[in-house]
């Protein structure tokens, strides 16, 4: 029971929306009513600027790392609990109980979770994703590539099957949350990094 309570801790940790808090503290706004309407690092960058955007990105990554560490500590390293703790924190980020279940898309938190559980697969997928963002300036494309390549690298590198299953779940999560971005990418209407979107 002690170990399974780490999943609740992970969800509650994920439910802390640093993007929303940054909007309220810095400009007195609900960031979900500005830019893309998403409570995540990219929209924070667009609406509040580089400093807050980078800070929110780092804090969202840290959420994922801490949730997995808590799951590891409370379970004595049980791979199933580690994986479920990772799922819980991402679910909390996407559907936060403290903010009306309207959160972000979970990519930064996914990076934190997967970098903790499968560092090198996450690193290789991340390098390709960052390269695509640099070349195209489409953050959504990089996010989609990251989650699509993770299962492949995890499988190729022989990481435990629990983590492979997690990566497949996160792939589905990410592509579902980015479904509107996928449509915009196909139509050539997606916002590029550095562009301004009216509120």
User: pLDDT digit of tens for each residue in the chain (199 aa)?
Assistant: 788 999 999 999 999 999 999 999 999 999 999 988 889 998 999 899 999 999 999 999 999 999 999 999 999 989 899 999 999 999 999 999 999 999 998 899 999 999 999 999 999 999 999 999 999 999 999 999 999 999 999 999 988 888 999 999 999 989 998 999 999 999 998 888 876 544 3
pLDDT at 198: 41
Residue keyed to tokens 């590198």: 157
pLDDT for res 2? 82
- pLDDT recorded at residue 199: 38
| pLDDT at residue 65 in the model | 97
Q: Please say whether the beta carbons of 92 and 11 come within 8 A.
A: yes
Q: CB-hemisphere CA count at 13 Å for 45?
A: 15
Greatest Cα-to-Cα distance within the chain, rounded to the nearest angstrom: 49
């Amino acid at each position: 029971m002690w170990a399974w309570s780490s999943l609740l801790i992970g969800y509650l940790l994920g439910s802390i929306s640093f993007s929303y808090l940054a909007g309220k503290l810095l400009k007195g706004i609900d960031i979900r009513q500005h830019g893309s309407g998403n409570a995540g690092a990219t929209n924070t960058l667009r609406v509040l600027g580089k400093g807050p955007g980078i800070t929110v990105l780092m804090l969202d990554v840290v959420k994922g790392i801490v949730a997995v560490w808590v799951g590891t500590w409370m379970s004595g390293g049980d791979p199933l609990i580690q994986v479920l703790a990772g799922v819980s924190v991402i679910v909390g980020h996407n559907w936060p109980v403290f903010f009306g279940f309207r959160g972000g898309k979970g990519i930064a938190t996914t990076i934190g979770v997967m970098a903790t559980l499968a560092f090198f697969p996450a690193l290789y997928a991340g390098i390709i994703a960052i390269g695509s963002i640099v070349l195209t300036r489409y953050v959504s494309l990089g996010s989609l590539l990251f989650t699509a390549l993770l299962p492949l690298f995890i499988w190729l590198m022989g990481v435990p099957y629990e983590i492979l299953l997690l990566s497949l779940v996160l792939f589905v999560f990410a592509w579902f949350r980015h479904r509107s971005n996928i449509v915009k990418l196909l139509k050539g209407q997606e916002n590029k990094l550095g562009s301004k979107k009216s509120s």
